Structure 1
Amino acid sequence: MMALAQRRFGIDHPLVSVRDHAAALANYRRLGFAPSPISYHPWGTVTSLMMFPSNFIELIGVADPGKFGTAAVDGFCFGRRLGEFLAREEGVSLVALHSTDCDGDHAELVARGLASQGRIDFRRAMRLPDGSPGEAVVSLGLFLDDELPDVSNFICHQHRPELIWVPGWQQHPNGAQGIAALTYVAAEPERLVARWRLIYGDEAVGQVDGVFQADSGCGRLRALTPDQAAAEYGAVGLPQARAERPHAIAIRVAVESLALVIKVLAAGGLSGVERGGCLQVAPEHCGNVILEFAEG
């Protein structure tokens, strides 16, 4: 079983951004996930969550571009940013980091030298498993890097966590238990390392088997060179990218049993490539990101 726990600045959730949310959601069900009910953000995006005990995958798309600009802060709008990303490609557009004190954590990261675009507070109507209505109350702190836009982060403080970490949403047919790692590709991994040092400190960042990585306290962040990425994921195929730039290419999900995952995938008409103890599923089935399943 996974030993991960929610930690400050730990991996909270990657945003897997897709153009056809309904089709992508159907694929995630075929992959063996049990998504939370669909809900909507005030700035025009549609979302559903693959919940785990300590983090989750958010599958997000644009539902109503006419709402772009709602809840904007100094001209920044999440919906508009997502729309701009999707105009280029699909995949992981941002990664949220866990927080239970948005104001304090935001101030601390700014003091460490991380550039910020400010804070956002919003509410999102939702429906619980028993059909009753709820309202998520969320605070975000924006840390977007113009030079590393697809490696950027925001901190996410759920003021009503009981409406997000619902036990009934954490039971997946594929036995998924949580995000163990996020993998990026970068021609110069040191650029990502410099950012991670600001967030996690020098002691949490280093190299393992020649791969730069950071321990977020709730899953690892990994940075591969293009050659390393081709060697590790070439058999399953890398996500499509319009331009060479640092971006996420894989989400590693810890599971109870790879045999169970293989069985569930087969039932959905899918398969994976086994490599290094992981079962890798091609990005065309996962929102232009590789999903890799590993026991642990």
Structure 2
Amino acid sequence: MSARGFDHVVWAVRDLGAAPRFMERLGFRVTPRARHPWGTENHLVQLDGFFIEILGIGDETLIPEAAGDTFSFGAFNRDFLKTREGASMLVMESRDPAADRRDFERAGLHVYAPFSFGREATLPDGGIRKVGFDLTFVRNDSDPAHGFFTCLNRYPDTFWSAEYQTHPNGVTALESVVIVCDEPAEQHIFYAAFTGRREMRATSLGITLETPRGRLHLMPPAAFASLYGIDAPEIGPGGSAIAALGLRARDRTHLAQTLREASFDAVEAPEGLVLPAGDHFGLALVFD
């Protein structure tokens, strides 16, 4: 089993006009809106090998329902947004979808039918290029509220853009994904299979797993509040929430100045400068 780094996170929002404007105020470069044939629409924030997919519902009448072993990306995010906004899905990179499937099945995980799609992407100069992806959806029985899949990017040279990856705020890469959960140890089996990393570091603050691109932190609410200086998201018994993304900046002083000039009140915390999730579409952003 080979290790997988984080590929992207799906950030589901109800207002697909306001969320990209929020990210632009933070100093990010945001791609033009793209549309999926199954009714969802998105904007992307590209970093170094990782991207944030800001996703909304465009045309609900186009959304197919899940049936049998077929996972419905559109229906899952539509239903997620009925109760909250925030990070709805975690995605790991793929080099071989068939190998991903074998790994997940050997680990005893439920794997859905293979899914592939392509679309057109708008480049910074206005040009149009084809992009395509092969997705392997898998279920986390310990966290059914979120979606999980691996993604093989079939045309990386046309997908990634140095211009879109250059942000005025100086943010360059993903540092970490933070998940708040009642019992981090109960997530061990799933995340070992999902990331291909069996070695995890356990402390009184939770579990940390190093991937080839970004760290995964699993922690209880009290640990999150201590490390990030803000209230943890509310979770029910046995529940989980993708609470925060940690992002690396070239110059923290410049980043802090960008936030002040945009009238954002960031919280100074042990893990970095934190923008709480409350008024920011359900996902905290942490800058280091």
Task: Decide: shared fold, TM above 0.5.
Answer: yes
Structure 1 gaps of 5+ residues are 1-6
Counterparts of 1:86-125 in structure 2, within 5 Å, are: 86-125=81-120
1:203/1:84 CA distance change after superposition, 3 Å: closer
User: 2:66–2:75: 8 Å Cα contact kept in structure 1?
Assistant: no
Deviation larger for 16-25 or 198-207? 198-207
Quick check: 142-151 or 212-221, which moved more? 142-151
| Secondary structure of the corresponding residue to residue 265 of structure 1 | helix
The Cα of 1:37 is off from its aligned counterpart by 1.6
Q: 1:183 aligns with which of 164, 178, 185?
A: 178
Answer yes or no: is the 8 Å Cα contact 2:71–2:137 preserved in 1: no
> Paired residue for 1:265, among 259, 265, 268?
259
2: distance between equivalents of 1:38 and 1:278? 30
Cα offsets for 1:126-173 (capped at 9, x unmatched): 211111112211110001224412454100011001122211110011
- Residue 49 of structure 1, CA deviation: 1.0
Q: Given that residues 73 and 118 in structure 1 are in contact (C-alpha distance below 8 angstroms), is that contact kept between their aligned partners in structure 2?
A: no
Match of 1:251 in 2: 245
The 1-side partners of 2:84 and 2:183 are apart by 22
Q: Show the 5 A alignment for 1:217-296.
A: 217-233=212-228, 235-239=229-233, 241=234, 243-244=236-237, 245-294=239-288
Letter in 2 for 1:127: T
1:75, 1:64 → 2: CA distance? 20
Q: Do 1:183 and 1:248's aligned partners in 2 also have CA atoms closer than 8 Å?
A: yes
- Residue 251 of structure 1 aligns with an amino acid whose one-letter code is L
Q: What is the alpha-carbon distance in structure 2 between the residues aligned to residue 258 and residue 156 of structure 1?
A: 31
User: 1:288 Cα shift?
Assistant: 0.7
Mapped contact 2:176–2:247 kept (Cα < 8 A): yes
User: 145, 153, 156: which is aligned to 2:151?
Assistant: 156
Matched, 1:29 2:36: no
Counterpart of 1:194?
A: 189
- Percent of aligned positions with the same letter in both sequences? 27
Name the structure with the higher helix share. 1
Q: Which has the higher contact order (CA 8 A, sep 6+)?
A: 1
How far apart are 1:208 and its partner, in Å? 4.9
> 1:149 is paired with a residue of what secondary structure?
coil
CA contact (8 A) 2:110 2:139 kept: yes
Report the count of equivalent residues.
286
1:59-138 mapped onto 2 (5 Å cutoff): 59-69=54-64, 74-138=69-133
Mark the CA change 1:63 to 1:131 in structure 2 (over 3 Å): closer, same or farther.
same
Offset, 1:66: 0.9
- Residue type of the partner of 1:22? G
Q: 1:277 to 1:142 in 2, by over 3 A?
A: closer
Greater mean alpha carbon deviation, residues 55-64 or residues 243-252: 243-252
Deviation at 1:87, TM superposition (A): 0.3
Deviation at residue 70 of structure 1 after TM alignment: 8.2
Distance 1:278 1:261 in 2: 11
Structure 1 length-normalised TM? 0.89
Is there any run of 5+ residues in structure 2 with no aligned partner, and where?
Answer: none
TM-score by length of structure 2 reads: 0.92
Distance 1:116 1:75, change over 3 A: closer
Residue type of the alignment partner of 1:172: H
